[in-house]
Structure 1
């Protein structure tokens, strides 16, 4: 939106107060939401700053109106901004992907006899939540483990039981403490719940210490069965603690947050340490992050994540955050303890951040592979549809001809299986029947040879055969195929306009540049070309080398020995007389002849 009277009117009415600004397009749709210490200064900067990044320039051009909400402080503005972005999901804001899918572990503290459960819903009813977890299976396993160790109730029956009611199966198979039966009282049960909460917080040592005291009380009261049960709990927890492989040297509560951008996505990984033990990693992926810097992505992540997650005393990041002081105050106010956001200061911090970065790279590679697999499947399905194939072309072969001014003509054939190169099927052909640069004729020859080989060996024909070329090359390939079979589908792709010919004389098929099917055909065509060029270059170099050595009048055996030893004609040319004489199998006279020729 260029600076004009409407803009000046908008800017004129903005107060010099903290708050949230809401940008709208010409239809009234919300396109961006931001926070500011001064609404007037922040919003004005969009329209009066000439050095804007690409994303912001596009945003300014679509903004037609700006609304605002004044708050009492920047902290309130930060909280409100996060809430409004979640609600409206403006297209220019960085947004966390799939926020609703992540599960939590919940401790139902509002119940008289609390339970530890797996849930995807958050309610404001007194329940304590831990998470979010990116691995639902791991979250379920943790719930199962905690209930198994502390023998908490799993059922949802009203307690205590009525006189005529019997305890559930979990008690009978020793998976529940049986609080419903009165074997332990409510206070003892709540002790178990309290230890389960401490365990989830990462406080393993305090849990063990507390359980040891309870065990002594039971033993002192001659309740040996209960004491034995508590002892077994302690053993189980110690096993878990010993299995932890990533530890901080001092038992600290710290989160390590790393971020990287891959295309339009921002990927955040958080390592959660409690009492010095790594409890797990949390993964968050943000859309619309192409033009955002790393600090901006983390600043967007922190308020939303710690709205429900446990807040440690220290958060370690590598990036500089413009809002660091504001975010620290927000976290401190929320957790009722001092929270600091720091850059890595120690070797341990730097080592853990290195591990965080390594995990981000692996996650990015996984997401890229998943996206590539998805796009490949879409591409194969598209080719089936537009080419009228009976099934998706899982097996494809592509031919390319390479020659230099009509000499050293070679053909290459590459194979793709399910959209990816299958190098075990690559083949190279020296052209036998053509001495001049007759590409269509050469295509006819190699297609004939390939089909004849497959039929002779009783091998499957490909689902799709692709020729690098236009209608003339396609016509000769079809002619060759008709001599053997009518069951082979052949197309060609012309480089200039990336047109696909599927029947000689018909109009070519033009797929959009973004077409996943076109990308597959381009990939196999380019791979065939690369493979042909490599083979052609190798033959040409070998011919050049042999030609030079022929001029020296040395035998074929000597030529072979020299090439095996020096690898190239240039190395032979650069060799000293002594180096030539030291080659096993090359005599003194031959060495001197070679050296004199090149020097």
Structure 2
């Protein structure tokens, strides 16, 4: 923060935890610490800043901010009405640091930076702060498209969102394509214009811009209908289409009238899926929350042009402190990665005016325009806020039940397989190959029975000759287990192999050599290549009658197979594309890779002109002509 003044004050010295005897009686070190912490808090300045709570090991367990450090921090070490989570945190505090800031805004920014840095146990944490996706209408193009993008850039494009995830954006794009007859295919216009005489997708309602008979103006008019719908103008669209339908019918143009009728029906169906919340010119986010002892949840409803377009839920463990300051911190995290902030954000419950004002000021500065952070107390909006809160409670309840079921499944798995600990982290391995080449081992990770895709890994097998499944599995596990000593590395509670007893014995021998002791089981398949049982060094463990365990193992086995095979297939295709280009005189691996990267694949290279090819670094005009000649010859041979 430019212009800021951050002063870090030294912590208290660390004391050995043992009883202390004084004339006034026997006191504990904990009581001595509490007294010292109260004294230290009482000497804090009455100015904005951030405080950093630490446990007896010096680890940061909580970060907070305040407009008056002395008042806020002192509250923790006196009798108060804090909830049990705050009491639990305070009991573990053995010291604190603090940083003086010039303004509350600066304190809020610093607080969230420190939360991301230390990820303290008692702070609420969003699991992913990547940028949120937008639906983009590329109006600057002759043939505009609907695409997903995580960046909002200046220009002629029009942006909608942001949405809670890419899947939501793609589902909206799919619905608009189906409703308004926009292209489903991956063709690029006008480059691919006229290459198809009769488009197969026309039968599915596509306007078919690939056909010569459809002009750019006709396509753009249809595209703008979809954009107008996104803008909330479906009444105008329906009125216009109804007029056209009636005109066509009156003039005996029955095929055209039927087409208009079908489009009207499709738009009405799509419109019915969107709930109207307020007037059509209003963009608003509504935030509601539920605070439970074991699990808490925040739900955000996104209203654009008066309609509910998306929602998002965030879950937090029971150990995280969930108070007004936490809500303020959540608002900062949520909107710090968003390019668009609506003019109005409504909270479903009251929060302290100090926190509300701080968050509103930050939102205004981030958005560059006035933003109201309001609390709804009456009317229709207040009723809808109750719905948002109910959604938050429902999500928490669903997660609670799911967690209980997961724990039962893992406990039953541990019991069946005589595991000493609950297998909260499971790593599964599979081998896939294409002939004697592209042998690949895939590893998937499941934590608490859920896939953790950020920790999936691929191992290109280097040391085995031919299709040696055991040797390939041994190499993959050797490379994986060699990283257990890395800083921050997580060890699995259970390793699952896509294979039988011999696979298990090979990996157990490897772990004995490495001095590692982790349970290993094989996942056995039946003659239909479906999960049948688990196998240890002592024999098979039947899971057929254990539905919850069976479904978990089945899910893991299918996922590791999918991940490994799809990754190997992608690598094979990439190599094939590169090898095709390398057959051309003057093209090596580096130039082939540059061409594929520049044109987005082999199809793009084939379509490129000599001038476009020569624009790629390393490609001379002579080489460009050889590329065109090579692919032209290939097309003639096909004919």
Q: Calculate the TM-score normalised by the size of structure 2.
A: 0.46
Report the structure number with the largest CA radius of gyration: 1
Q: Calculate the TM-score normalised by the size of structure 1.
A: 0.49
